[in-house]
Copies of this chain bind each other. A is one copy, B any other.
Amino acid sequence: MKTPQYRTAIIRKEHFNAAHRLHNAHWSDEKNKEVFGKCNNPHYHGHNYDLEVKIIGICNPETGYVMDTKVLSELIKTNILTPLDHKNLNLEVEDFKNLNPTVEHIAMVIYDRLRSHIDPALELKIKLYETERNYAEYPY
């Protein structure tokens, strides 16, 4: 094989389940209801979140790895699944105390939680499915 001259991406999928509601505390109940509809239900609803963490960089020729996915999987378990899985995002996760837990914002939070644990030479991208039909990518 010719020496690889391009960057390679490796992707690891994980999943977690959580409850949430969409709500902006600076708005009236009417405006919240109007903007967020049934997602504003004060008793919460929930989702199975499917998470894809992508790591981009030069493949190490000795291991054939961009990054060991076993190591990546452990980082995701410790920093994302343990604090978020089977939790109420609004009530139990500090990051959403003042941040509306839309799928876009949850993807950003996951990025921020993982970024410092990944080699700075590697690029990081998050894809998060809220349902089979709605998902977010951050950063794009």
A interface list, Cβ under 8 A from B? 1-2, 4, 6-15, 17-20, 22, 24, 26, 35, 37-39, 41, 43-48, 54, 56, 59, 62-66, 68-70, 85-88, 91-92, 95, 99-105, 107-109, 112, 131-140
Contacts and interface: CB of A to CB of B under 8 A. Distances in A.
A4 B38 contact: no
Contact of A43 (B19, B85, B131): B19
A3 to B, nearest CB: 10
Contacts of A105: 1, 59, 64
Nearest to A36: B63
Interface of chain A, main secondary structure = mixed
Interface centre among A85, A103, A104 (most CB of B within 10 A): A104
Given A8-B136, A8-B137, A45 B64 contact: no
Given A11-B135, A19-B46, 12 more contacts: A1-B99, A1-B105, A2-B112, A10-B136, A11-B134, A13-B133, A24-B63, A26-B62, A35-B68, A37-B70, A46-B46, A47-B48
24 contacts: A1-B108, A8-B107, A9-B138, A10-B103, A10-B136, A11-B134, A13-B133, A15-B132, A17-B45, A17-B46, A19-B19, A24-B62, A35-B63, A37-B70, A41-B88, A43-B91, A44-B46, A47-B47, A48-B132, A56-B140, A59-B104, A64-B100, A64-B104, A65-B104
